[in-house]
């Protein structure tokens, strides 16, 4: 996937108007042999494109030694106590903590000072987006440029100078996943590794393991919505974090057998219903009927298209299938998921 700036243009690409100007220059023979480049549309920014190896971070054996990546509550507490003195080298801005959820009673939010340290409630939904590539719609992908720009504005984020800490709030497997989405979105869009950290442990655990009750508060910081910096200022391309289908095919073994020594792990996060195209279901899948086993056959009349992205009933802007008898009957899209349903039409 190409990284885009907030205008929708891939990063590093000239504005269309600039392309036309260059073409006209050559067509008229007016560029000359030694003149400077046309900067009427601004200078072309050079983008650093990183490989997965360059993006990767190695943790110290003792997490307390990490100043980015996976950090401990003890490290975070030291930062909060005197951020201007204790902040890591190369970080000159604020300390911003994003909690995916509210913590338990008595440890709701890691306590900010709301001057140099801020703690915001930022749910996982802010760090994901359903995106369409023209063929399919994929949920829970990394947000696009305009969405990231909106986050930068909401939380007054300076991606070049601030330190961002992705925290769980209440510790759980789901909130640990939310931490990862926060880290992933920031790194994907080019925030340097020195500026992004993930807090080890939920609030109920770090309260007593690096922090005490006085390090928490019942109220989060208020988002100022005053940020002025967008993703177009991040001249680093970390889009290698997102593998393409071609990348996946390239690392698959020749036979359908797990290879455990090649250093590659493929995690298939689909449910049984999605994996089997609805032929098998597990507890939690819509339509599951217990059969005495953890995985069961789909019941009679089960809608096999329910979990597919091209299923009209799963597309918020589409109707359920038409019931008219004409072979040319088609569905009529709605303006929005909440707008009134429209009748079928014939084509």
Span 26-85, pLDDT tens digits:
333 334 444 455 566 667 779 999 999 999 999 999 999 999 999 999 999 999 999 999
Distance CA 193, CA 68 (A): 7
Pick from 305, 284, 307: which is nearest to 296 by CA?
Answer: 284
The per-residue pLDDT string of the chain (347 residues; one tens digit each, 9 = 90 and over) reads 444 444 444 444 444 444 434 333 333 333 444 445 556 666 777 999 999 999 999 999 999 999 999 999 999 999 999 999 999 999 999 999 999 999 999 999 999 999 999 999 999 999 999 988 887 778 889 999 999 999 999 999 999 999 999 999 999 999 999 999 999 999 999 999 999 999 999 999 999 999 999 999 999 999 999 999 999 999 999 999 998 888 888 888 888 788 888 888 888 877 888 788 888 888 877 788 989 899 999 998 888 776 554 444 444 444 444 444 444 444 444 444 444 444 444 44
* CA pseudo-torsion sign 251, 253, 257, 262: negative
* CA pseudo-torsion sign 84, 88, 93, 98: negative
pTM for this model (two decimals): 0.71
Q: Tell me: the pLDDT tens digits for 311-336?
A: 444 444 444 444 444 444 444 444 44
The two structure tokens encoding residue 217: 């508060």
49-241 to CATH, choices 2.102.10.10, 3.40.250.10, 3.90.950.20, 3.40.50.150: 3.40.250.10
Residue 63 · residue 70 · CB < 8 Å: yes
What values do phi and psi take at 218, rounded to 5? -85, -5
Radius of gyration of the chain (CA): 25
Sorted by sequence, the CB contacts under 8 Å of residue 180 that are 6+ apart come out as: 166, 198
């Amino acid at each position: 996937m190409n990284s885009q700036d907030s205008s929708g243009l891939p990063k590093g690409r000239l504005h269309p108007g600039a392309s036309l100007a260059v073409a006209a220059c050559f067509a008229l023979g007016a560029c000359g042999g030694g003149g400077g480049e046309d900067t009427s549309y601004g200078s072309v920014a050079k983008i650093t494109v990183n490989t997965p190896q360059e993006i990767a971070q190695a943790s110290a054996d003792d997490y307390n030694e990490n100043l980015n990546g996976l950090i401990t509550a003890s490290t975070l507490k030291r930062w909060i106590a005197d951020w201007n003195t204790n902040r890591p080298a190369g970080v000159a801005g604020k300390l911003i903590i994003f909690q995916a959820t509210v913590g338990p009673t008595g440890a709701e939010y890691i306590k900010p000072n709301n001057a140099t340290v801020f703690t915001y409630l930022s749910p996982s939904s802010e760090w994901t987006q359903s995106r369409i590539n023209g063929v399919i719609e994929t949920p829970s992908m990394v947000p696009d440029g305009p969405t990231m720009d909106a986050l930068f504005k909401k939380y007054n984020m300076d991606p070049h100078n601030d330190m961002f800490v992705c925290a769980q709030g209440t510790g759980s497997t789901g909130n640990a996943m939310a931490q990862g989405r926060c880290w992933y979105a920031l790194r994907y869009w080019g925030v340097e590794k020195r500026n992004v950290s993930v807090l080890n442990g939920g609030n109920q655990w770090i309260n007593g393991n690096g922090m005490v009750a006085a390090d928490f508060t019942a109220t989060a910081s208020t988002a100022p919505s005053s940020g002025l910096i967008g993703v177009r200022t991040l001249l680093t391309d970390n889009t290698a974090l997102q593998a393409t289908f071609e990348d996946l095919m390239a690392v698959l073994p020749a036979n359908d057998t797990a290879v455990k020594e090649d250093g590659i792990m493929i995690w298939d996060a689909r449910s049984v219903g999605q994996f089997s195209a609805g032929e098998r279901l597990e507890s939690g899948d819509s339509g599951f009927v217990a059969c005495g086993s953890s995985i069961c056959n789909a019941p009679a009349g089960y809608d096999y298209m329910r979990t597919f992205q091209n299923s009209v009933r799963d597309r918020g802007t589409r109707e359920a299938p038409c019931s008219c008898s004409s072979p040319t009957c088609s569905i009529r899209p709605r303006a929005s998921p909440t707008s009134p349903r429209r009748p079928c039409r014939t084509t």
